[in-house]
Amino acid sequence: MSSSAPQQRPPGKVLNINNINSSVKAAKYAVRGEIAIKSDEYRDILARGQKDKLPFDSVISANIGNPQQLDQKPITFFRQVASLLENPLLLEHEDVLVNSLDYKPDVIARAKKLLADVQSVGAYSQSQGAPIVRESVARFIEERDGYPSDPKDIFLSAGASGGVSTLLNVICADSSSGVLVPIPQYPLYTATLSLLNAQCVPYYLEEAQGWSTNLKEIHAAHEKASANGTDVRAIVIINPGNPTGSTLTAEDVRGVLEFAAEKGLVILADEVYQTNVFEGEFLSFKRVLRDLQKENPEKFKHVELASLHSISKGMVGECGHRGGYFELVGFDDAVVQEIYKFVSIQLCPPVIGQAIVEMMVNPPREGEPSFELYKTEHVGIYQGLLKRAKALHEAFKKMEGVDCQSPTGSMYLFPTISLPPKAIEQAKSEGRTPDEFYALRMLDATGVCTVPGSGFGQRPGEYHFRTTFLAPGTDWVGRIVSFHEKFMDEFR
């Protein structure tokens, strides 16, 4: 410590935009960026009844995968159990619950079982998450993959985001550490790497092949970064993809695992959309890794895999409850201990969120009283998503200069747009990227809020936008179509 007198600050605020953490300033997260903020302003204007000020009468938040903001109803079983967890006094009136409120006996039984373990959802749980929940997660993974899973390898998290932050914090040692990230990608990854001042090593996905992984691209990105002195330590895979809406084939998954085994890379498998699959089949990285380890134990024995899941997506859509988990496979025990310490510093993930994780992985089974309603709700949400995805895709197919892969998974479409040179010039003159200009114009004209492709990354000279297909109805799809026609006419 210096012996000189402490430096006197000038009067006024301690913090200013030039002296705060520059990594925070460098991080970008377009999903809730300028266009989303503007859409909130429009929503406020409409809420104040000033409809004549805008050319639309509702704002459609197609920028974010937030199902219940867009009218997806919560699954009844989850919320009934959660209500009892929040207010256990209700359990003293089972007759009212059953006879007047139509709570089924399995709702009551589940609430009692969870409460017996966590005692109160107002209490901290174990840092790694409540044992009863981790046991259910492990059983779910076993049933899904046909391979054992151990509750001690499961870490519950505040959404998958909490898990990603934990893992990247531990993986990235310093500014030379690099992580291969798909482009386009969900910007949580680039933003977190920015915050950690670590290196994002981008690899492009193949749009023409349904946004699949291309091993040549991954190889080249790895080579280039390594040659530049980056210590590439991990590879992120998002399957099904965001923003791409793709579902990887078994070959793709195998290819990535082989590459990771050869190069010595940790795999971060972001599988939050595992039940949002419309074409093909979801294959977990864990299952394919175990298959490969059986076929070639020597080659795959050291592979380290962390796979993540969440209650925010799928038919659950409980984003606001912040629940998720990651499973660690093949990590060194001492590293696991540090991961444990890291999560302990945050004390524990939200306990209601943990309970919803438990219900997601262990929903009512056939023959149980809540099963029929659960199934009806689940299937209804799935069919609704599929219908809207197809309607949106059909609309995009008809739009001039728009090309869109068919939706095979997740909640998004990510069409590419060939923007006329005049539009590109106009965007430049306004100091915007062309896709930002397009998405902003769309918002101003229609009230539909999307995210420009640059927020996820795209090849130079290509332009995209991402929209969810969560919003109810199809009126907003029509709004996009007619906006696009006028836009093209204006700039053609």
Residues lying near ligand PLP in the complex (CB under 6 A): 65, 159-161, 186, 188, 238, 242, 270, 272, 310, 312, 319, 324
- The residue among 196 and 445 lying less far from ligand PLP, judged by its C-beta, is 196
Q: Which of 140, 116, 112 is nearest to 365 (CA)?
A: 140
Chain residue whose CB lies nearest ligand PLP: 159
The alpha-carbon radius of gyration of the chain (Å, integer) is 24
Q: DSSP class of residue 212?
A: B
d(CA 413, CA 328): 31
67 versus 178: smaller Cβ distance to ligand PLP: 67
Is residue 471 within 8 Å of residue 62, measured between CB atoms? yes
> First CA to last CA across the chain, in angstroms?
66
Residue 240 CB, nearest approach to ligand PLP (Å): 9
Q: How far is the CB of 189 from ligand PLP (least distance, A)?
A: 8
Residues 6+ apart with CB under 8 A from 97: 84, 90, 91, 103, 107, 108
Minimum separation from the CB atom of position 236 to ligand PLP (A): 9
CA–CA gap between residue 60 and residue 449 (Å, rounded)? 6
Q: How many residues does the chain have?
A: 492
- Which tokens belong to 467? 């929209």
Q: For ligand PLP, which is the closer residue by CB, 63 or 230?
A: 63
In the complex, the smallest distance separating the C-beta of residue 163 from ligand PLP, rounded to whole angstroms, is 8
Nearer to ligand PLP, 134 or 309 (CB): 309
CB of 251 to ligand PLP, least distance (A): 21
The nearer residue to ligand PLP, 107 or 449, going by C-beta atoms, is 449
Identity of the residue, 149 or 239, whose beta carbon is nearer to ligand PLP in the bound complex = 239
Query: H helices of 8-158, where?
Result: 22-26, 34-47, 76-86, 94-99, 105-118, 131-145
**Distance separating alpha carbons of residues 343 and 348, to the nearest angstrom:** 7
Q: How far is the CB of 391 from ligand PLP (least distance, A)?
A: 22
Q: Which is nearer to ligand PLP, 409 or 434 (CB)?
A: 409
Which tokens go with 123?
Answer: 């209490």
Minimum gap (Å) between residue 140 Cβ and ligand PLP: 16
CB of 452 to ligand PLP, least distance (A): 17
CA 224 – CA 309 distance, rounded (Å) = 31
Cα separation, 250 vs 283, in Å, equals 7
Q: Between vectors from CA 190 to CA 278 and to CA 347, what angle results, nearest 5°?
A: 90
> Nearest approach, Cβ of 269 to ligand PLP (angstroms)?
11
Nearest approach, Cβ of residue 238 and ligand PLP (Å)? 5
The minimum distance between CB 63 and ligand PLP, in angstroms, equals 11
Tokens of 306: 């962390």
State the DSSP code for 72: P
Q: Residue 466: how many CA atoms within 13 Å on its side-chain side? A: 29
268/402 with CB nearer ligand PLP:
268
Min CB(373)–ligand PLP separation in Å: 25
Q: Which is nearer to ligand PLP, 31 or 440 (CB)?
A: 31
Q: Which is nearer to ligand PLP, 242 or 293 (CB)?
A: 242
Name the residue nearer to ligand PLP (CB basis): 186 or 491: 186
Amino acid identity of residue 291, one-letter, is: D
Our measurement of the distance from residue 2's CA atom to the centroid of its chain's CA atoms, rounded to an integer in Å, reads 46
CA distance 39 to 53: 14
Are 24 and 195 within 8 A, CB to CB? yes
Considering the complex, what minimum distance in angstroms separates the CB of residue 314 from ligand PLP?
A: 11
Tokens at residue 447, please?
A: 């009230």
Give dist(CA 239, CA 248) in Å, integer. 6
Nearer to ligand PLP, 103 or 412 (CB): 412
* C-alpha closest to that of 208 among 257, 241, 246, 256: 246
Give the three-class secondary structure for 181. Answer: strand
Strand pairing of 177-183 and 199-204? Answer: parallel
Residue 120: strand, helix, or coil? coil
Contact (Cβ atoms closer than 8 angstroms) between residue 408 and residue 210: yes
